[in-house]
Amino acid sequence: MHAFVPTSHMPERGFPDGWNQGRQFVYDEDLPGFLDTKGSAPDQTRTVILLREGNHRVKDIWLTSVDSLREYKPVVAAIQPLVSLEELSLGNGETTSFYETSGSRKGYVKGSEKCRERLFMSWWAFDWRVGEDKKLGNDKNDGILFYTSLKPWDRETSDMRDFAGFLRYWKWKP
């Protein structure tokens, strides 16, 4: 299950049939089904993404005014090209890749092995590396298959590297 959080920039005709714009429950998280950005001044509104402590799971998302954030120390996420993950600074003048660069795990995120997923899911998902984080390639010719459905027969059509195809697979419309 995936969480999609469209905004009012998304035409309603593009939503999957029966889309709940209220709340959605994904992996025990209560998330919005829609963010209404109409009437919000872009320079006075921020999107807040709350992450669950200890992992990268999104716990909630909401819009708020810049003024309401004054009591918090902001952590601004710098937007960098994806390729920058391949040359992370170690602070001593050297760099390292976020991903394994050789061997059978080439292209997988370092340290992303998922023992429980392997034990409980790999046998029926037909994927020894199920649940492991991997590099998102630029297209279907770049990197590891980035499937988003556990159904082996839907892996190609749910591949996120073809983003338009990925959205169609999950019933979003052009």
Indicate the pTM of the whole model.
0.82
Q: What is the percent of the chain with per-residue pLDDT over 90, rounded to a whole number?
A: 71
Residue 45's contacts (CB-CB under 8 Å, 6 or more residues apart) are 37, 63, 64, 65, 66
Q: What pLDDT, on a 0 to 100 scale, did the predictor assign at position 1?
A: 62
CB-based contact 49:32 (threshold 8 Å): no
Of 19-23, 75-79, 106-110, 131-135, give the lowest mean pLDDT range: 75-79
Averaged pLDDT for residues 117-128: 95
Distance CA 1, CA 26 (A): 6
CB-based contact 129:117 (threshold 8 Å): no
Distance CA 145, CA 28 (A): 27
The 10s digit of each residue's pLDDT in 82-110 is 999 999 999 999 999 999 999 999 999 99
The 10s digit of each residue's pLDDT in 41-85 is 878 898 999 888 887 789 999 999 988 888 888 777 789 999 999
Q: What pLDDT, on a 0 to 100 scale, did the predictor assign at position 53?
A: 86
Residue 17 exposed, middle or buried by CB count within 10 Å (0-12, 13-18, 19+): exposed
